[in-house]
Amino acid sequence: MSKKNYLDANHLLVELIKSKEQDELTPKAIEYFFLMAQKISESLSYKYEEDRNDCIMFAMEIIVRYWRNFNTSGKQESDAKYAFSYFTTVIFNGLARGWGQLHPIKDSRKVSLSNENIFNFD
């Protein structure tokens, strides 16, 4: 495994298959997901390290809730790439959801259009 590839996608798929058979995530699968969340979060900017850690935990919560949705029935080598891509997307969405909960957008300039009038609500 090269330095660029911090996780072998085939190992992730093997752990997912084991997890499905046991109906719970294996410790190794959890370790892999946490490693992925950490590496993916490094591609994003955070002012405070606590925010990064909180967003990683949001992503981990999403994975724990929805990991069973990934179909491992194919068990082909190409499925490993799909697993890695699938969970990368899940983690990105979890990080974004976490950020949204930590820092909700406060838009005080809501505008409503009615006929020809414009109303501002503050």
Give the tens place of pLDDT for each residue, 81-119: 788 999 999 999 999 999 999 988 776 555 555 555 544
pLDDT digits (tens, 9 = 90+) for 53-66: 999 999 999 999 99
pLDDT at 78: 58
**Element containing residue 68 per DSSP (H, E):** none
**Residues 98 and 58 sit within 8 Å (Cβ to Cβ):** yes
- C-alpha distances out from residue 109 to 78, 112, 121, 122, Å: 48, 10, 7, 6
* Amino acid at site 80: A
Q: What are phi and psi of 36, to 5 degrees?
A: -60, -45
> So what's the pLDDT on residue 2?
43
Q: How many residues does the chain have?
A: 122
What pLDDT sits at residue 1? 46
| Model pLDDT, residue 71 | 83
Q: Rounded to whole angstroms, how far apart are CA atoms 59 and 91?
A: 5
Q: The whole model's pTM is what?
A: 0.77
Q: 14 by DSSP, 3-state: which?
A: helix
